[in-house]
């Protein structure tokens, strides 16, 4: 079955209600986890501690694996690297397709993710794990994980762009696989390296996904998006 290559307009427009329902479904666990962390709910703290201590023992005992994870988290999945990828996608949208509304949507979504992440960190003020034999270090408050949240937002935005431009089946499957590996992988590395509690990572995933769902909803309802989609050139 033929799939249009990247560069052609999508045949169907996403329904705003689907993204809105997804956002509503993500809002409840996001807020609930935020409240549990902010209130220092003991069962959650105990579970976080048990998992963190176990993974830290593994990290100390397997230095070669820990070294690989540090490279991945500091260079491949670093928030600055991921935001640079979004920046490149924005330039591509404007330069190749004159998709100004969509480019602005990408920038606004990433900026919202960064701003909300810093705001929640400051408001909650959760301390990071402290070890007598640390294998890595990190600054600022712990909740939510900035790495996990940024990866979720960026991968969600890029996948949405591929859908809008009608990516072929092979490209879509490859991109989806890389996105899942990146989002899950970066979360695991942050816990393994002992710089985040597990619930920090889960919070980053949930809030990041919520931002993407809200952003998709807003774009589908954005008056300029329909006109831009209608005038997007077709490829032969």
Residue 97 vs residues 102, 168, 220, 233, 235: alpha-carbon distances, Å:
10, 18, 18, 8, 11
- Between 63-72, 173-182, 192-201, 215-224, the lowest mean confidence (pLDDT) is in 215-224
Question: What does the angle CA 168 – CA 111 – CA 24 come to, to the nearest 5 degrees?
Answer: 70
For residue 213, which phi and psi values (nearest 5 degrees)?
Answer: -65, -40
The per-residue pLDDT for range 98-126, each reduced to its tens digit, is 999 999 999 999 999 999 999 999 999 99
Specify the 3-state DSSP secondary structure of 6.
strand
Confidence of residue 16 (pLDDT cuts 50, 70, 90): low
For the chain, give percent helix, strand, coil, nearest 5. 75, 0, 25
Q: Which residues pair with 8 in a beta bridge?
A: 6
Confidence of residue 233 (pLDDT cuts 50, 70, 90): very low
Nearest to 11 by CA among 166, 150, 157, 144: 166
Q: pTM of this prediction?
A: 0.90
B/e letters for 55-65, b = 16+ CB within 10 Å, e = fewer, are bbeebeeeeee
Mean pLDDT value across residues 15-41: 92
């Amino acid at each position: 079955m033929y799939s249009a290559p990247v560069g052609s307009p999508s045949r169907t427009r996403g329904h705003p209600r689907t993204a809105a329902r997804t956002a509503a479904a993500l809002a409840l666990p996001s807020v609930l986890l935020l409240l549990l962390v902010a209130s220092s709910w003991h069962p959650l703290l105990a579970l976080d501690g048990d998992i963190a201590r176990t993974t830290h023992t593994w990290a100390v005992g397997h230095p070669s694996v820990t070294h690989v994870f540090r490279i991945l988290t500091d260079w491949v999945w670093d928030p600055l690297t991921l935001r640079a990828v979004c920046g490149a996608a924005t330039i591509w949208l404007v330069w190749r397709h004159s998709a100004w509304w969509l480019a602005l949507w990408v920038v606004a979504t990433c900026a919202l993710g960064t701003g909300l992440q810093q705001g929640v960190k400051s408001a909650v003020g959760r301390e990071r794990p402290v070890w007598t034999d640390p294998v890595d270090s990190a600054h600022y408050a712990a909740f939510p994980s900035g790495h996990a949240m940024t990866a979720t937002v960026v991968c969600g935005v890029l996948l949405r762009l591929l859908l809008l431009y009608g990516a072929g089946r092979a490209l879509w499957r490859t991109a989806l696989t890389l996105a899942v590996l990146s989002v899950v992988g970066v979360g695991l590395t942050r816990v393994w390296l002992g710089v985040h509690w597990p619930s920090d990572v889960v919070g980053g995933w949930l809030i990041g996904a919520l931002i993407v769902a809200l952003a998709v909803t807003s774009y589908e309802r954005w008056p300029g998006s329909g006109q831009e989609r209608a005038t997007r050139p077709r490829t032969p």
